[in-house]
Amino acid sequence: MKFGTKAIHAGVEPDPTTGAIMTPIYQTSTYVQRSPGDHKGYEYSRTHNPTRTQLQNALAALENGKHGLCFASGMAAIDAVVKLLSPGDEVISTNDLYGGTYRIFTKIFQNYGIKFHFISMADIANVEKYVNENTKLLWVETPTNPLLNIIDIKGAAAIAKKHNLKLVVDNTFSTPYLQTPLDLGADIVMHSLTKYMGGHSDVVMGALIVKDDELHEKLAFIQNASGGTPGPQDCFLLLRGLKTLHLRMQRHCENGRKVAEYLKAHPKVEKVFWPGFEDHNNHAIAKSQMNDFGGMISFVLKGDKMEDAVKVLEKVKYFALAESLGGVESLCGHPASMTHASIPREERLKAGLSDSLIRLSVGVEDAEDLIEDLKQAIG
């Protein structure tokens, strides 16, 4: 089955009791049993809910996995993965990481005796230097935020296999439309469904997708024991969003390319970060593991002045100044004063996060309008 057909049909069946083609919102906490223990597979909605089951099946199908698990947010999904570990275990993570992931690793799980190494994975061979007998997990995000670095998933999987580590890939920026990490050897795919998967900026949710039965059992145990599960109404909205994932992503990619090329040619723009450019340092890897290059773009203005970036962000009309990404509407942000404001300036600059860096989540509007908007804003 091809991807678009899957987005609409896979994992989802008409409701068995009524034939409703769209999965109903099973707004119930509990389920009646005929006799103690004699039930229809549903006992309590933290553990299972029919709306959530359909969504989990759809996600598993889209990522070419076997099992999906949904959580109340992307962070709750990450929380569940780290709970596979015990004190003394070590994690090797990419250093260009979603801020919330860095926060939960360093401010929560470090206190429980888990050690994290944050390293550059631009050259994946670098990972081996940090592997020791306590290493259990390899954490990869690609493309990264906001510098759009690309990490070699196959290379990471080879290292994970050699040292018996679990490889987790945060696939939020790519979605399975662009890349399916389980096919490249990853053990766990993690999603903030809040972004492209939901796609309409109206739900916060997360997911994990795996192939392995035993790993699924462990994660399902944690999901139920810790209880960070989403409600059925949100699951319904996510299911609805997924049905147009391929259409939305196609347009995000088309618009992304047009906007990236426009910015690259602009005399007031110093540098554009987008993995689709041939001079991107890991373009070859991006090309080999992704079907297209997505709608996330960052750029730096000539002169690198914060006030110039602020002016652009105040002037744009269609690009809404807001946190988050991946919705149908275009968004823009200023990492230095928004998402990455807590990082000292020196460190920010060292990591390549300039004062005038602007991040765009290019939406699915008409590209001509978006370019016109950037034109009047950048001047």
Ligand X SMILES: *Cc1c(COP(=O)(O)O)cnc(C)c1O
Interface residues toward ligand X, by CB under 6 A: 73-75, 98, 100-101, 141, 145, 170, 172-173, 192, 194-195, 204, 206
Task: Give dist(CA 107, CA 309) in Å, integer.
Answer: 31
Between helix 306-315 and helix 367-378 the angle, nearest 10°, is: 130
CA gap 117, 119 in Å, rounded:
6
In the complex, what is the shortest distance from the CB of residue 256 to ligand X, in angstroms, rounded to a whole number?
16
DSSP code for 104 = I
CB-wise, 101 or 175, nearer to ligand X?
101
Q: Which is nearer to ligand X, 131 or 137 (CB)?
A: 137
Cα dihedral sign, 226-240-276-185: positive
Catalytic residue among 98, 177, 196, 262: 98
**Residue 202 a catalytic site member:** no
Q: Catalytic site residue 187?
A: no
Closest CA to 57 of 247, 239, 243: 239
Residue nearest to ligand X (CB): 74
Q: How far is the CB of 362 from ligand X (least distance, A)?
A: 15
Residue 38 vs 323, nearer CB to ligand X: 323
Query: In terms of CB distance, is 4 or 100 closer to ligand X?
Result: 100
Told to judge if 96 belongs to the known catalytic residues of this protein, a careful annotator would answer no
The Cα-based distances of 6 to 2, 55, 245, 366 in angstroms read 6, 13, 10, 26
Q: Please say whether the beta carbons of 170 and 139 come within 8 A.
A: yes
Nearer to ligand X, 135 or 201 (CB): 201
Across the strands, what pairs with 299? Answer: 272, 358
Q: 15, 31, 46, 89: which one is catalytic?
A: 46
Residue 51: CB minimum distance to ligand X, A: 19
Our CB check for ligand X shows the closer of 141 and 373 to be 141
Peptide bond connecting 230 to the previous residue in cis, omega within 30 degrees of 0: no
Q: Which residues of 328-366 are buried (b: 16+ CB within 10 A; e: fewer)?
A: bebbbbbbbeebbeebeeeebeeeebbbbbbbbbbbbbe
* Minimum CB distance to ligand X, residue 324 (Å): 7
Helices in the chain by DSSP H: which ranges?
3-9, 50-62, 74-82, 99-103, 153-162, 175-178, 213-226, 232-242, 245-265, 283-289, 306-315, 345-350, 367-378
Instruction: Specify whether 170 is catalytic.
Output: yes
Nearest distance from residue 317's CB to ligand X, in Å? 25
Whole-angstrom distance, CA of residue 145 vs CA of residue 138: 18
Q: Please identify which of the residues 79, 170, 308, 355 carries the catalytic annotation.
A: 170
| Shortest separation between residue 173's beta carbon and ligand X, angstroms | 6
Among residues 195, 257, 348, 359, the one annotated as catalytic is 195
Please report how close the Cβ of residue 357 comes to ligand X at its closest, in angstroms. 17
Of 72 and 310, nearer to ligand X (C-beta) is: 72
Q: Which residues are catalytic?
A: 46, 98, 170, 195
